[in-house]
Amino acid sequence: MMFRQWERRKVPGLNTTSTADISFMLLILFLVASSMDLDKGIARQLPPMEKEQKQQTAVDGRRVIRLAIDANNKVTMDGKNVSMKDIRQRTEQFVNANGKSHLIQLQTDRKASYDTYLHVQNALVAAYNAVRNSKASDLFGKSFDLCSTEQQQQIVDEVPIRVSEVYAVSANKPTTTEKGGAE
């Protein structure tokens, strides 16, 4: 027998029955242990779209605060530089003095940072919350959050959030909202 029949050798196999279980456990571990970044944002409820155009009414200029954020993230209130703390304090005083007939006009340059815009909005919301809390304390003897739904609605009706956003347009492009608008 010249050629001897060689026995075929088998390659030993790996036991992979628990590999799927281990990978599933690792997946669950990483999902639970990882942090999810939340988006920054402002909760705003937009008014419903109206079928008919309402006629615009004139607003008394003494009952308007004009906030502006320029391209360098400098914040001005009625033409004067202000800090976020000043925005909150002056807004509280203004809303208390003018009641429902106030208006806060916020104009933001397109090149301004979103972070500055959020800080201004947060200052405005903090001012409104402080006014509403003091109103709730005066009327019901408790904070706004502890009031019933009907009480909260009464306070919201007395202290509405009236913030108007104005979008700056470059000087060489007129908008249709200007007097004698262009197309």
Question: Is residue 10 assigned to a domain?
Answer: no
- Report the number of distinct structural domains present in the chain: 1
For residue 166, the surrounding DSSP H or E stretch is strand 163-167
The answer to whether residue 97 is domain-embedded is: yes
Domain assignment present for 46 = no
Quick one: which of 139, 129, 123, 179 has its CA closest to 159?
129
Report the predicted TM-score, pTM, of the whole model to 2 decimal places: 0.64
Residue numbers of the domain that contains 66: 61-167
Q: For residue 156, give the nearest of 126, 142, 136 by alpha carbon.
A: 136
- Our CA angle for 39, 166, 96, nearest 5°, is 85
Determine, yes or no, domain membership for 105.
Answer: yes
Question: Does residue 6 lie within any of the structural domains?
Answer: no
Cα angle for residues 155, 159, 162 (degrees, 5° grid) = 140
Q: Is residue 84 domain-resident?
A: yes
For residues 111-133, one letter each, b for 16 or more C-beta atoms within 10 angstroms of the residue's C-beta and e for the rest, the string is ebeeebbebbbebbbbbbbbbbb
Q: Looking at 8-17, 91-100, 130-139, which range is the least confident one? A: 8-17
Domain-embedded: residue 177: no
Q: What is the pLDDT of residues 99-145, one digit of tens each?
A: 888 899 999 988 888 899 989 999 999 999 999 999 999 999 999 98
- CATH number for 97: 3.30.420.270
pLDDT (0 to 100) of residue 173: 44
CA angle 92, 96, 100 (to 5 degrees): 115
